[in-house]
A and B are shown apart, each in its own frame.
Chain A
Amino acid sequence: MEWETVIGLEIHAQLATKSKIFSAASTAYGAMPNTQACAVDLGFPGVLPVLNSEAVTMATKFGLAIGAEVSKRSVFARKNYFYPDLPKGYQISQFELPIVGIGELEIELENGETKTIGITRAHLEEDAGKSMHEGLGNESGIDLNRAGTPLLEIVSEPDMRSAKEAVAYMKKIHSLVRYLEICDGNMQEGSFRCDANVSVRPKGQKEYGTRAELKNINSFRFVERAINLEVERQIELIEDGGHVAQETRLYDADKNETRSMRSKEEANDYRYFPDPDLLPVELDQAFFDSVKATLPELPDVKKHRFMKSFKLSAYDASVLTSSRELAEYFEAVLVAADNEAKLACNWVNGELAAMLNKENKDISESPVKPEMLGKMIVRIKDGTISGKGAKDCFEGMWLGEGDADEVIKKRDLKQVQDSAAIEKFVDDVIAANPKQVEQFKAGQDKLLGFFVGQVMKESKGKANPAQVNQLVKDKLK
């Protein structure tokens, strides 16, 4: 039987506010345990939450960016359950009236097509603390630094049909929240994490299969692996005559397996009700307008502008706009490169991307600044350096040998464009290879490459290949 996979994602994006969502404690990562938890975060008696307006602004930005309706009235609710790292015995979240309603997002598929993924809602909530079991002997520790950190939970429709689509969607959200500067997107630190609802059904069947929820998957690679594993498990189970149980499963990256955490029967009854300590959040059009005015150019708009203004392919444009920093880098290169868009794109997506990847660097850490790359492109365009020379030049710039002109000078990369000088190289090569000249003249056209190669070798690569090509042809005609 042919199976279809159905996936919906719940993404938790930690909002980049300075202080917590309901207290003045810092949200900075990495402090000593419990040094960034005040009485409110610790759930002490009598203390009360006060909403951080910055979190509301950030959620609003997200809502506007996905074309969703941002609620004029949203309500915080208590999600009640007991856990040692949940200090109040309830999490303040939003339930019936979330701040962001239905929206959508376009993702690019591998085959170059696009697909629209529905977003059901996005709501504000506070994070819990962390339980620690390692290295404490018989005891468990609790770190409440993270308790009260603002999260935006973004819930998608079950619109994805493969692990690859899920990853594309997750990457798109990741890129968007970073464009909006509402989340730092740091997955190692847990600022951006995801739960996946996965089910399978026979192809063509309308009803969804029973889903399992995969918890806390914290990298793009793991999302793909975890989903594929789960899909395999479910198909195998059904084909063996079994049933998929509705349950929460945990992905273990070390063992590369998913395992059951709790079944539906064991699931908590969260007893949601509106939090009487907080007033409903009431927003008006003027607020929406003021937030809208601060929105940057969004990735999709930017992508289409790049395609149109710079005549780039959809693929190139979407790679360049995958992060705001990269797009800004590219545009800065263009300014310095006299608008040589195709060349600039090839260098940014090619050599630069490869080096960054190899050295595990972020675009902001590139030793080759956009102006430097742009000037080098000018030198390619005006014939000062060849393509090969450019690679040398780029390497020199990467290693800190200076800007393009300095590296060209230091590394002696300037192409020989003086026709007389090139002609001398050509004449020498012809004189030295009479046999090949005979064969060429007898019709072995492919030997042209041999002559050009020899000339380039003699000139130590500095002769302009186009000129050499032409001269050899002329001389041997």
Chain B
Amino acid sequence: MQDFSIVEISKALAKKEFSSVELTQHYLDRINTHDSQLNSFITVTDELALEQAKAADERIRKGESGVLLGVPYAHKDIFCTSGVKTSCGSRMLDNFTAPYNANVTDLLNQAGAVMLGKTNMDEFAMGSSNETSFYGSVKNPWDTAYVPGGSSGGSASAVAARLAPIATGTDTGGSIRQPAALCGITGIKPSYGRVSRYGMIAFASSLDQGGSFARSSEDAAQLLQAIAGFDLRDSTSIDRPVPNFSADLDKPLKGLKIGLPKEYFAEGLDAEVEKVVQTAIKEYENLGAKVIEISLPNSKLSVPVYYVVAPAECSSNLSRYDGVRYGHRCKDPVNLDDLYFRSRGEGFGKEVKRRIMIGTYALSAGYYDAYYLKAQQIRRLISDDFTQAFKEVDVIMSPTSPSAAFKIGEKSDDPVTMYLSDIYTIAVNLAGLPGMSIPAGFVNSLPVGLQIIGSYWGEAQLLNVAHQFQQATDWHKQKPKGY
């Protein structure tokens, strides 16, 4: 049952081959069996899930249809869920239950999807390994000694281990694509503005974007379809029609122009990973695509620019966690400063503090022009590089991550090395483009992801390009042993 695709589940539910309650119970059982090893969930919402499943069955019985109706999903614990704890992976919000739903949560409720629980993540989405979570690190189902990637590591791990057919995620610098790659599944981050950020706890507002995880492009398209769309409550969401993301899936790739940025195949890329990616690109040539070498000359500036812009925004976004109205409050504060210092000191972990400090520094009087302003200017140049490239090519491909999954603890004491694991994904967020990662092979039995980058609002094309590859290969059908 856990190997069914969403389309298969949907058909089976409609034909009453099994009920949503049965399916949901099946997944809850799997979570119960496997998640003690993986730690991919912070909260499992058994009761609520079964209630929602029951309601979905009722809707199906009344003749209602919908591709997500009755389909279980795992929800990243960054999306607010009325009545269910939303921790954002932080001690700061360990006691926090929002009295409102994120727009994404609302849309999934309307679609009749069934929430199995809230998935583990790096604290406030700051991390590339899921080691910064207050709730402990998530394990990679392909080898539990390895990280699943981050920050949406819980969602990626859960989908890879068949603990949920699909999951939500958010991506600020690669937080969907990198864990998708490291866990051997499919993940898509749409264009900035496509999915409402309302009720999605902010890390870096100008970069954060919600998206979907699934085992196939086809399923990822279904989940994205449900959560995309304009929302008046988010001024940065885009008021333009959402196309049918599945409409073009079967379009042949003959004549597709694929750009390979030479800067993404340079020093720092693991040779074995490069081989896997080149083989995947060969496959695209077999499918009729044309490969063109391109240049994104400002690529090397992506990581430094990102580590000014994202911390700057986060330093301000996280100021609201002050122990005054909700969230962690220190015991018996003696005065206001004590309340602030201890509540924030105890509530935030090391990586979050590091980024708040970097961001505060970058915005300080006397440094603003040299750091934040300069970073924003370079951000524009990085974006221009892509605009230029898309005049020549339809999509851009690269490795998602310079290496396969690394061991838990391997990089956690070296933030810069950790930051470099997002080197190929970050520029996409800085430019606001859609990006995807699909399974492309293995290195030492660990999955490797192929990144596909599209031009603005080109999600349907990305999903088509990914789907065609998945029709011709079966990397996405591989599953970790024991699940």
- Pick 10 A–B contacts, CB within 8 A, sort by A: A46-B199, A50-B233, A80-B315, A84-B324, A142-B324, A273-B363, A273-B368, A276-B204, A276-B206, A277-B235
Indicate whether A48 sits within 8 Å of B235 (C-beta atoms), given known contacts A84-B336, A90-B316: yes
Q: 6 smallest A-B Cβ distances: which pairs?
A: A89-B319, A271-B363, A276-B205, A276-B206, A43-B320, A46-B199
CA distance A51 to B236 in the complex (A): 12
Judged by a CB distance under 8 angstroms, whether A287 is at the interface is no
CA distance A271 to B373 in the complex (A): 12
CA distance A80 to B364 in the complex (A): 10
A82 interfacial contact with B, CB 8 Å: yes
The size class of the interface chain A forms with chain B is 20 to 34
Q: Which residues of B contact A44 (CB under 8 A)?
A: 98-100, 320, 325-326
Question: How would residues 81 to 101 of chain A score, 1 for a CB under 8 Å from any chain B CB and 0 otherwise?
Answer: 010100111100000000000
| Chain B: CB-nearest residue to A84 | B324
CB < 8 Å neighbour of B235 from A43, A49, A90, A269: A49
Give every chain B residue within 8 A of A84 (Cβ-Cβ). Answer: 322, 324, 336
List B contacts of A47 (CB < 8 A). Answer: 100, 198-199, 233
Chain A residue, CB-CB nearest to B372: A273
| Distance (whole angstroms) from the CB of A163 to the closest CB of chain B | 33
Given A44-B325, A45-B202, A277-B236, 10 more A-B residue pairs with CB atoms under 8 Å apart are A42-B325, A45-B96, A47-B198, A50-B232, A50-B235, A51-B235, A84-B322, A269-B364, A276-B204, A276-B205
> Which residues of B are found within 8 Å of A88, using beta-carbon distances?
319-320
- Residue numbers in B under 8 Å from A277 (CB-CB): 202, 205, 235-236
User: Whole-angstrom distance between the alpha carbons of A87 and B88 in the complex?
Assistant: 19
Cβ B364 vs Cβ A89 within 8 A: no
Contact with A along B300-329 (1 / 0, CB 8 A): 000000000000110110111110111000
CA distance in complex: A327, B372 (Å): 52
Which residues of A261-286 are within 8 A (CB) of B? 269, 271-273, 276-279
Q: How far is the CA of A337 from the CA of B100 in the complex (A)?
A: 61
> B325 contacts which chain A residues (CB < 8 A)?
42-44, 87
In the complex, the answer to whether B319 meets A80 with C-beta atoms within 8 Å is yes
Complex Cα gap A49–B198 (Å):
9
Assess A90 versus B324: contact at CB under 8 Å? Given A45-B88, A46-B198.
no
Q: Contact size class for B?
A: 35 or more
In chain A between 11 and 68, which residues have their CB closer than 8 angstroms to a CB of chain B? 39, 42-51
Q: Does B390 contact A (CB under 8 A)?
A: no
Which residues of chain B from 178 to 192 have a CB within 8 Å of any chain A CB? Answer: none
CA distance A39 to B79 in the complex (A): 15
Chain A residues, Cβ within 8 Å of B315: 80, 271
Is A78 an interface position by the 8 A CB rule? yes
Chain B hits for A273, CB < 8 A: 312, 316, 363, 368, 372
Listed in ascending order, the chain A residues whose CB lies under 8 Å from chain B are 39, 42-51, 78, 80, 82, 84, 87-90, 142, 269, 271-273, 276-279
Option from B80, B360, B365, B372 in Cβ contact (under 8 Å) with A45: B80
Chain B residues whose C-beta falls within 8 Å of the C-beta of A276 in the assembled complex: 204-206, 236, 313
Question: Which single residue of chain B is at the shortest CB-CB distance from A76?
Answer: B235
With a cutoff of 8 Å between Cβ atoms, the chain A residues found around residue B364 in the complex are 269, 271
A279 to B237, CA, bound (A): 10
Q: Which of B96-118 contact A (CB under 8 A)?
A: 96, 98-100, 102
A466 to B121, CA, bound (A): 97
Query: Inside 8 A of B24's CB, which chain A residues have their CB?
Result: none
State how many angstroms separate the Cβ of A48 from the closest Cβ of chain B.
5
- The docked-state distance in angstroms from the alpha carbon of A87 to that of B316 is 12
- Inter-chain CA distance A47–B98, complex, in Å, is 10
State whether the Cβ of B406 lies closer than 8 Å to any Cβ in chain A.
Answer: no
CB neighbours (8 Å) of A78 from chain B are: 316
B345 to chain A, nearest CB (A): 14
CA distance A276 to B236 in the complex (A): 8
Complex Cα distance, B233 from A51, in Å, reads 10
Cα separation A276 to B372 with both chains bound (whole Å):
13
**Within the complex, which residue of B78, B99, B316, B324 is in contact with A80, where a contact is CB–CB below 8 Å?**
B316
- Chain A residues lying within 8 Å of B363, measured Cβ to Cβ, are 80, 271-273
Among B184-226, those with CB < 8 Å from A are: 197-202, 204-206
Q: Name the CB-closest residue of B to A49.
A: B235
Question: Closest approach, in angstroms, between the C-beta of A157 and any C-beta of chain B?
Answer: 24
CA distance A46 to B196 in the complex (A): 11
A48 touches B233 (CB 8 A): yes
- CA A47 – CA B322 in complex, angstroms? 16
- Identify which of B102, B200, B235, B372 contacts A278 (C-beta below 8 A): B235
Q: Measured between C-beta atoms, what is the minimum distance from B5 to chain A in Å?
A: 31
Does B368 lie within 8 Å of A82, measured CB to CB? no
Residue of B nearest to A279 (CB): B235
Q: Is B234 in contact with A48, judged by CB distance below 8 angstroms?
A: yes
- Which A residues are in CB contact (< 8 Å) with B88? 45
Report A96 CB to chain B, min CB distance, Å: 10
A24 to chain B: closest CB distance in Å?
10
B193 to chain A, nearest CB (A): 10
Note all chain B residues with C-beta closer than 8 A to A42: 325
Contact A46 B368 (CB under 8 A): no
Nearest chain A CB to B68 CB, angstrom units: 22
List B311-363 residues whose CB lies under 8 Å from chain A: 312-313, 315-316, 318-322, 324-326, 336, 340, 360, 363
Assembled-state Cα–Cα distance A397/B312 (Å): 67
A260, B323: Cα distance in complex, Å:
29
Please give the distance in Å from B271's CB to the nearest CB on chain A: 38
Tell me whether A46 and B372 are in contact in the complex, defined as CB-CB below 8 angstroms, given that A84-B336, A271-B360 are known contacts.
no
Cβ contacts under 8 Å, A271 to chain B? 315-316, 360, 363-365, 368
Q: Is the CB of A46 within 8 A of B98?
A: yes
For A90, the chain B residues whose CB sits under 8 A away are 316, 319
Report the bound CA distance from A44 to B372 in whole Å.
26
**Interfacial residues of chain B within 250-296, with CB under 8 A of chain A in the complex:** none
Q: In angstroms, how far is the closest chain A Cβ from the Cβ of B273?
A: 33
* CB contact between B322 and one of A50, A89, A269 (< 8 Å): that residue: A89
Contacts of B205 in A (CB 8 A): 276-277
Smallest beta-carbon distance B383→chain A, Å? 15
**A46-B322 contact in complex given A271-B316, A276-B205, C-beta closer than 8 Å:** no
- Please name all residues of chain A whose beta carbon is closer than 8 Å to the beta carbon of B236 when the two chains form the complex: 276-277, 279
Docked CA distance A49–B320 (Å): 14
Roughly how many angstroms separate A42 CA and B100 CA in the complex, as a whole number?
13
Beyond A51-B235, A80-B363, A84-B324, whether A45 also contacts B99 by CB under 8 A is: no
B93 within 8 A of A: yes
Annotate B360-393 by CB proximity to A: 1 below 8 A, 0 otherwise: 1001110010001000000000000000000000
In the complex, chain A residues whose CB is within 8 Å of the CB of B324? 84, 87, 142
Partner of A48, one of B197, B312, B320, B368: B197
> With A50-B232, A269-B364 given, is the CB distance from A45 to B320 under 8 Å?
yes
| Cβ of B97 to closest chain A Cβ, rounded Å | 11
Candidate in A48, A49, A84 with the most chain B CB atoms within 10 angstroms: A48
Q: Within 8 Å CB of A89, what residues of B?
A: 316, 318-320, 322
- Shortest beta-carbon distance, A182 to chain B, in Å? 23
- Closest partner residue, chain B, to A88 (CB atom): B320
Q: How far apart sit A44 and B233, CA to CA, in the bound complex (Å)?
A: 14
How far in angstroms is the closest Cβ of chain B from A243? 24
- A-facing residues in B230-250 (Cβ within 8 Å): 232-236
Establish whether residues B365 and A269, one from each chain, have CB atoms under 8 Å apart when the complex forms: yes
